[in-house]
Every structure is written in C-alpha cells, then in structure tokens.
Chains A and B, each alone.
Chain A
Amino acid sequence: MTVTRDAATGRRAVVTGVGVVAPGGVGREAFWKLLSDGRTATRRISLFDPTDFRSRMAAEADFDPVAEGLSPRQIRRMDRAAQFAVVSAREAVEDSGYDFAAADPARTGVSIGSAVGCTMGLEEEYVLLSDAGKHWLVDHTYGVPHLYGYMVPSTLAVEVAWEVGAEGPVALISTGCTSGLDSIGHGVQLIEEGSSDVVLAGATDAPLSPITSACFDAIKATSPNNDDPEHASRPFDAERDGFVLGEGAAVLVLEEKAAAEARGARIYGEIVGYAGRSNAFHMTGLKANGREMAEAIRVCLDRARLDPTAVDYINAHGSGTKQNDRHETAAFKRSLGEHAYRVPVSSIKSMVGHSLGAIGSIEVAACALALDRQVVPPTANLHNPDPECDLDYVPRTAREHAMDVVLSVGSGFGGFQSATVLARPGAVAYEGSAR
C-alpha cells in the first residue's frame, strides 16, 4: 500500500576541491598562510566610514573583482557576496580537476549558504531609491535591472550554478551563522541520496555594511575594542568582548566517493558525519550548559560511527563573545567527556573574523587544509584564558599534529547548532559502503 524504498545507498561524499576568498588574501594558499602564521586580518573598516559606530573594525577581504577575472557584466550584476562565491567556486573547480564541461549537468548540484544574502547591494540601492532614507515610498524609477537579484538571497546559488553549468538540485541555505555547515551537510545529502554525483557546496557573506554593523552594535554583540583592531578578536580569552565581523566565502567540490576514487582525484577528506540541533531557547541567547550543541556533536559522531576519542582536532565556533565561548566549552566537555581536555581546539575567527553564514564553510575549508597539512591552526590573541574556558585552545602558534578525524561546529542566531566531521582519506572504513 505504501511506497517504501531503501534510502541508505552506501554513497558517500568526499572533498576534492577547495576554494576560498577570505580576509588576509584571496585564494586557498593565502588563506592557509594567514592561518598557519597565526596572523590576524582584522582592522579598522575601510569599506564604509565607521566613525559613528560602536564597533568600527572588521576582517576585510582585499578583493578586486577585475583581478579575479569577473567580467564587467558580472561585476555590475553581482553583489560582493556573489562575487566571492563565484571566485571561490572557480578555485574549487580548478583545484578538483573535475571536468564539469564533460559531466551530465543534471547530475551537478549546488548548495550555497548565506546568512544575510546580498545585503550590501540591497542597502546601497535602498539609499539611492529612498534618497538617503527620506522616502518611505521609494522611487522605483531609480531601480537597477538586477535589483530583485539583491532582494532574494537565492541569487547567490544561481550565480554559482551558472558558473559551473549545474542543472541538478540548486539551493540557497540560510540558517544564520550555521548556514555554512548546513549547506555542506545539504550537499552531502544530495550525493548520499543519489540526486547528484558532484555538488558545489559552500557559503558566502559580505555583511560589511552600515546596516549590519548597526544591528550588531544594537545588541552589543561585536567588540568595541577599536583602539586595537588587530587584537580585537579574542576567543576564549578572559578579556574577550564580542566578535569582530568578517566577510568571505568558501566553496568545496563534493564528489561521490567511489567515482572520485575511480578518476584518481586528490581527496582532501571524507565528510563522515553531519548533524544539526536547535536550542529552542532564545534567538540570540545560549544556555551555559551547551546541551543542544553537545547533542549535535553526539549525533554527528554517532552517524560517523566514531567514538569521541577518535576526534583529533576541533575547529570551534569560537566567536569571542562571553556567552558563546563558555557555551561551547561546556558542549565539548558534555559530548566528548575527558577527551575534551586532550584534543586541540582552536578558533580561526581570531584571525579572519566572523563572516556570519560564510564562516562555517570557511572553517570546513580550514579543516580540509589542516588534515592535508597535518597542522592545527591556532587561536590568535589568546593570552589569558577565561577560567571557565579550560581546554587546549592552541594559543597563538600553529601546531604540527597528527590528525585523522576533525570536528567543526557552529552556533547561530535562531538557536541553531551544527556539527560536521571530516576524516582523512582511508582513515575510517565503512562496512556496507557501495564499493
């Protein structure tokens, strides 16, 4: 009477390409150099005049769309977030060696995360149409032809799909600051369920505009330490006073594992676990006990069939707000037990800031590179740990470390908590996999 099907197919997803646009330099290698050097890219905001704002710092990407090869029409049409996404996608595609032109477009999917979409374009056009806020009935005759493309964040996924000629499932995932983990989880699911053989999965945000700065000022979420921008993002430090905004994108090429192996692709790692949970507690507040993030980590490891002791490194959300860093530390202890005290934990937000929805994918990219290079990126600016943050946060200096399995977590407005686990190729074997 009912339709039943074997949903578990044995298909698995691996990362074969990494593309990054991050503060401190465009491209994967510049990104990794910044992280492994433990340098910070936070500075006084130059993209607009921040004088009237409480927090006047950000980690900005030195990004020139012309130098990155975007066409004049793409530059005119695309919001900065879309430009980041397309440039990241190009780098990931090139890195993967996957021949998209020869592939069946119907089997190519796209899953892009973003917390705030095309905010910059939307705000710039608003200023023009309303004549600097004077008119509630904005003047539509000043509207640019692609204005609607700024209004809907789906544009970001559209641009990536056009870039690679994808005609399979395409989605824009927007779960606030966990968007970048959830979009990769979605991409993995498309491969596992058989909807796609290859997926461009990642996230992008370009939130460095007055309205975004103002809204985080209003809730005092961002650091006011304007006198020392380079050292303002201080996750887990006793003197941390909020996060520092960032911007950027990371896009991964996810491929079905057996096919990737068959073509001899270079594999950074396999996504062996992903899970999301919600705290149903508060849109911005976090419970001190880390309960729901711990549950997301527990389910994620359970799906990966891994014991907590298998985790060799944790890429923390580590935003640098008082409550986040304690919440997260509690979540690690709750989910990993004593192992939490033994595993290195670090926050790259200390260096590249918090780029909202994009950061989850940027952090997974960092995990892929950490696995590849067997180096743990540090937590910059950590000098005096908060007594309640008593784990090994890899202060200031990158560390060579043997890693097979790395965990990355995110926490976002809405109460969303997400976790994903990457494993080095060959490190974990799954019985019953397709081939």
Chain B
Amino acid sequence: MSPAATTTAPASATGVTTPTRAPVITGLGVLAPTGIGTEEHWSSVLAGRSAIGRITLFDPAPYPVRLAGQVPGFVAKERVPSRLIQQTDRWTHLGLAAAEAAIADAQVTPAELAEYEMAVVTSSSSGGTEFGQHEMENLYQHAPDWVGAYQSIAWFYAATTGQISIRHGMRGPCGVLCCEQAGGLDAIGQARRLVRTGAKLVMTGGTDASLCPYGLTAQLSTGQLSTVQDPARAYLPFDAEASGYLPGEGGALLVVEDAEAAEARGAGQGYGRVLGYAAAFDPPPDSDRGPVLARTVRTALADARLDPADVDVVFADALGVPEADRAEAEALAEVFGPRGVPVTAPKTLTGRLYGGGAALDAATALLALRDGTIPHTAGPAAPAPGYEIDLVLGEPRRAELRTALVVARGHGGFNAALVLGHPQGHHVS
C-alpha cells in the first residue's frame, strides 16, 4: 500500500494526492433537546415544538438565566457502556450515543472497513465541564488524592474523539477542533480534508453538555445570554425584542464518506454532499475593520463552485444579540441581495449547543434537503426593521431544495460557512 507513490499529482506533506468528488454524508446521529434520534428531532422542528424549559440538571434559582434546552429522557446507561459512563463526562456520553446512532443510520460496520481509513474529528467547546467541576470540588473540599483517576481522560477536549475512536476501532487520523460555536462546521470541513488525504469514512460533528453551575456561570460572563424568563420570548434572533440567547446541550454526529467508497459499499445516495467550506476570523473588537462573515460565505460558495443564486436556504447563526443579528442580516443581504434567499434558525427550539450546535444545524439542513422543506424559526414575530432577510416564520415552507448554506460564528471572532448539496446534484448557474 503506497498511495503517494502511485499518483502523478505533486507531493503533499499532508497527503493531498488525488482529486476527490464531494464527500457524502451517509449517517446522522442526533441527540438534541428536540429529540433523541433524527426523526424525533426533525418532527419536533417541523412542528415548532420548543424544548426550552427550566434547567433541571441543577438548581438554577441563584442565576439570572434559568432556562435552557436539555436533552429530555437521556439516560446514559441505556446508550453508553456502563464502564465508560463513569470514565467520561455527559458531553462524551452524548457523543458516544450520537456516534453509535450515526453508524447505525449509515448502515456501516466499521470492523469491515480498513482500520486506518476511518477517522474521527469532533468539535469541543469546553470539554468535560461538569466532570471537571466535580473533581475540582473533590480537590478543594478534600485533598489531591480525592481526585479520581478518570479526571485525566474525561475533562480534556479530546475525550470524545478518543473514546469514539477506541469504541469503533477507527485508527485513522483523529482530531478535535475548538472554535467555540463555529466548531461544528470546522469539524465537518476538517472531515472533508481527511477524505482528501485518504480517509474513507470520518465520524464528525460535535456535542456539548456544559449545563452545570460553573459552565453556566462562565457563559454568563459574556453578557450574551438572555435573562428573559418566558421560554417563548427569551431567545428571539433577528426580532426587535432580541435579548440574547439561551444555552442548550446535545448535538449531532455525522458519518462523512468518500464518494467512491460509499458507492463501493452500496451505501446509497446518503443525505447530501459537502460541497464547500470556508473559515475566517473577525478583526479585534477595537479594530475599524468590519466583520468577515460575508467574505466567509462567498469563499465557501467559491469553494463549492456555486453562485449565491444557487443557494436555496440559509441556516443562520442567529445569535440573538442585536448587534450580531444586524451584522449577520447585513452580510446575508450583501451576498444574496435583500430578502434574496430563505433564512431560518430552528435552534430557537434547542438553545445554542456550543460545540454541538453547528453540527446539529448541518444535520437539520440535510433533513431539509431530503424532504424539500425549510423548517421555520419558531419565536420571532418578524425581522427587526432594517434586517433585509427573508426569515421563514410561522410554519415550514415547502421548496425544491438542492443547496443549503449553514453559517456559524464563535466567541472571539470565529466564522464558518458550509455548503451542503442534495445527493442528486445541484443547479447549474
């Protein structure tokens, strides 16, 4: 086996050796406030059923934010081997469960594939947050030797990737991207890179579970969370009443495969294809330079060799912070023209899932492509004056969907854009 020696392409230090077709997404594993399982999530989204409620994972009474999206009825021992439950944080429990669901959905048996051609790359925002708080409590309430042996493998940001790799025998290049709430798209972009460097199957996406007192407290420090106490009115992106966002937990993992390899194993057409991706970074807060979101979107479209007119729906970042909403609306209007493309943000039903959020958006976008239905944004009444976007409100909108754009931004200045295509191709403009 000497792949590099057989190509006429220039040598690449990282192994990019052959032209590749767009990778296909053949499996989805969703563990979200809107449902455990892809179809439960999708039906909640289409029905506009909100999963926002009072936090029950701990007593939120002392905090100005008491609402969040929690994964209802998630019992780790039903979905994760008991040995791993005590060794890992809830974030990893959700990741292991989502990975198993994605593998089942893709109808793939990892043991039948080449071990070094399967890879894992996930997004993590804050690692094993709750596990870490418990062990710091052990340390400071008691003594160093009260800190458990699993702290060293549960808290760090690579825990979920490592556990998935081990559980499914995936011995290819593994990775973890921490780009805060943009990370889910960056992980999928990285999965495409890995396919281009020889991986045949990549488990990618992300989950998050930072709903513990210290996690929430840290999030409060950004001043971007909504302190509105009405679950229906707290997270209203693009609305004139936008007051910030609510946090949530969960996410999605996706099976991304090399197109030829997926065909060879008879995987079917899959949910869609990764057509384009780009990442960029905003200038510092004190800069007079503007945000880079419009450029990020254009770069992703150029990467996909598509024009703005080819995009049928945009899944927005929709932070719910007025200044950020305005910047996003302006960027979308700049690229697509005023109200030039349907825009939606079903994440109002779940809250923002940090490392898992953009991955769940990508999964939802793939379901929209599959069913030719744009899910609506539950909550907002109308875009605020001056926001020139066609925000899909009230109910889902039927449409022939060939191409979806997913946009995500992360704290500090991360921007990412992902272009997903229907499995059966796209418009030619």
Contact B16 A192 (CB under 8 A): yes
Q: Which of A136, A143, A219 has the most CB of B within 10 A?
A: A136
Of A227-235, A272-280, A328-336, A342-350, the one touching chain B: A272-280
User: Which of the candidate stretches A115-123, A308-316, A361-369, A371-379 sits at the interface with the other chain?
Assistant: A115-123
Cβ–Cβ contact A303 & B19, under 8 A? no
Contact across chains for A214 and B174 when beta carbons are under 8 A apart: no
**Chain B residues near A1 (CB-CB < 8 A):** 425
Minimum CB–CB distance from B410 to chain A (whole Å) comes to 6
Given contacts A273-B13, A277-B116, A282-B166, is CB(A154)–CB(B222) below 8 Å? no
Are B13 and A193 touching (Cβ within 8 A)? Answer: no
Q: In the complex, what's the smallest C-beta–C-beta distance from A158 to chain B, in angstroms?
A: 4
Is the pair A153, B178 in contact by a Cβ cutoff of 8 Å? yes
> B44 at the A/B interface (Cβ < 8 Å)?
no
Q: Among the interface residues B149, B259, B304, which one has the most CB atoms of the partner chain A within 10 A?
A: B149
A278 touches B171 (CB 8 A): yes
Asked if B361 lies at the interface with its beta carbon under 8 angstroms from chain A, I say no
Chain B nearest CB, measured from A329 CB (Å):
21
In the complex the two chains form, is B58's CB within 8 Å of A136's CB?
yes
Minimum Cβ distance to chain A for residue B191 (Å): 13
In A1-44, the 8 Å CB interface with B consists of 1-10, 12-13
Which residue of B59, B135, B137, B139 has the most chain A CB atoms within 10 A of its CB atom?
B139
Chain A residue with the shortest CB-CB distance to B419: A3
- Contact partner, A175, options B19, B176, B275, Cβ 8 Å: B176
Contact in complex: B144, A52 (CB < 8 Å): yes
Find chain B residues with CB under 8 A from A193 CB. Answer: 16, 193
Interface residue tally of chain A, by bracket? 35 or more
What is the chain B residue whose CB lies nearest that of A412? B158
A152 touches B156 (CB 8 A): no
Interface flag for B18 (CB, 8 Å): yes
CA distance A166 to B412 in the complex (A): 12
User: Is the Cβ of A284 less than 8 Å from the Cβ of B152?
Assistant: yes
In the complex, are the beta carbons of A278 and B165 less than 8 A apart?
A: yes
Least CB separation from B2: chain A residue: A302
Contact B147 A144 (CB under 8 A): no
**Of the residues B7, B217, B425, contact of A143 by C-beta under 8 Å:** B217
Q: Is the CB of B18 within 8 A of A136?
A: no
A134/B295 contact (C-beta < 8 A), A211-B147, A218-B152 known = no
Contact A3 B16 (CB under 8 A): no
Q: Are A414 and B169 in contact (CB-based, < 8 A)? A: no
Residues of chain B with a CB closer than 8 A to A143's CB: 217-218, 220-221
Q: How far is the CA of A122 from the CA of B214 in the complex (A)?
A: 10
| Residue A189 lies at the interface, judged by CB distance under 8 Å to chain B | yes
What is the minimal beta-carbon distance from A310 to any residue of chain B, in angstroms?
14
Assess the A303–B11 pair: CB atoms within 8 A. Answer: yes
The answer to whether the Cβ of A145 comes within 8 Å of any Cβ in the partner chain is yes
How many A-B contacts at CB < 8 Å in the complex?
346
Q: Does A246 contact B (CB under 8 A)?
A: no
Looking at B22, B120, B127, B421, which has the most chain A CB atoms within 10 Å of its CB? B127
A138 at the interface (CB under 8 A from B): yes
Q: Tell whether B373 is near chain A: CB-to-CB under 8 Å.
A: no
Candidates A8, A106, A195; contact of B10 at CB < 8 Å: A8
Q: Does the CB pair B22–A3 fall under 8 Å?
A: yes
A266-310 vs B, Cβ < 8 Å mask (1 yes, 0 no): 000011111111111111100000001001000100111100000
Inter-chain contact B213/A137, CB cutoff 8 Å: yes
Query: Given A2-B273, A214-B151, A215-B152, A276–B17 Cβ distance below 8 Å?
Result: no
Decide: A210 and B144 in contact? CB cutoff 8 A.
Answer: yes
Give the CA-CA distance A47 to B176 in the complex, in Å. 29
B38 within 8 A of A: no
From A116, A170, A213, A415, residue with most partner B Cβ within 10 Å: A170
The stretch among A57-65, A124-132, A388-396 that forms the contact with chain B is A124-132
Contact of B14 among A155, A176, A274 (CB under 8 A): A274
Q: Are B153 and A283 in contact (CB under 8 A)?
A: yes
Quick check: is B429 within 8 A (CB to CB) of the other chain?
no
- Beyond contacts A7-B196, A132-B140: 14 other A-B pairs, Cβ-Cβ < 8 A, are A52-B144, A117-B127, A126-B133, A133-B140, A144-B221, A151-B126, A151-B219, A172-B177, A172-B178, A189-B16, A193-B193, A275-B14, A284-B153, A305-B5
B residues near A (Cβ < 8 Å) are: 2-5, 7-22, 58-59, 62-64, 87, 115-116, 120, 124-127, 129, 132-133, 135-141, 143-145, 147-149, 151-153, 155-159, 161-163, 165-166, 168-180, 183, 186, 193, 196, 210, 213-222, 259, 273, 275, 278-284, 289, 292, 295, 304-305, 410-414, 421, 425
Top 7 A-B pairs, shortest CB-CB distance: A414-B162, A133-B140, A432-B10, A158-B412, A8-B9, A151-B218, A174-B157
A residues adjacent to B (C-beta < 8 A): 1-10, 12-13, 52-54, 105-106, 110, 115-117, 122-123, 126-127, 129-130, 132-134, 136-140, 143-155, 157-158, 161-162, 165-176, 182, 185-186, 188-189, 192-193, 195, 210-211, 213-219, 221, 270-284, 292, 295, 299, 302-305, 412-416, 421, 430-434
What would be 23 A-B contacts, judged by CB atoms less than 8 Å apart?
A8-B7, A12-B13, A115-B157, A129-B217, A133-B138, A139-B62, A143-B220, A152-B126, A167-B281, A167-B282, A173-B178, A175-B174, A176-B156, A176-B162, A185-B14, A192-B14, A215-B152, A218-B148, A218-B151, A277-B116, A282-B166, A283-B159, A302-B2
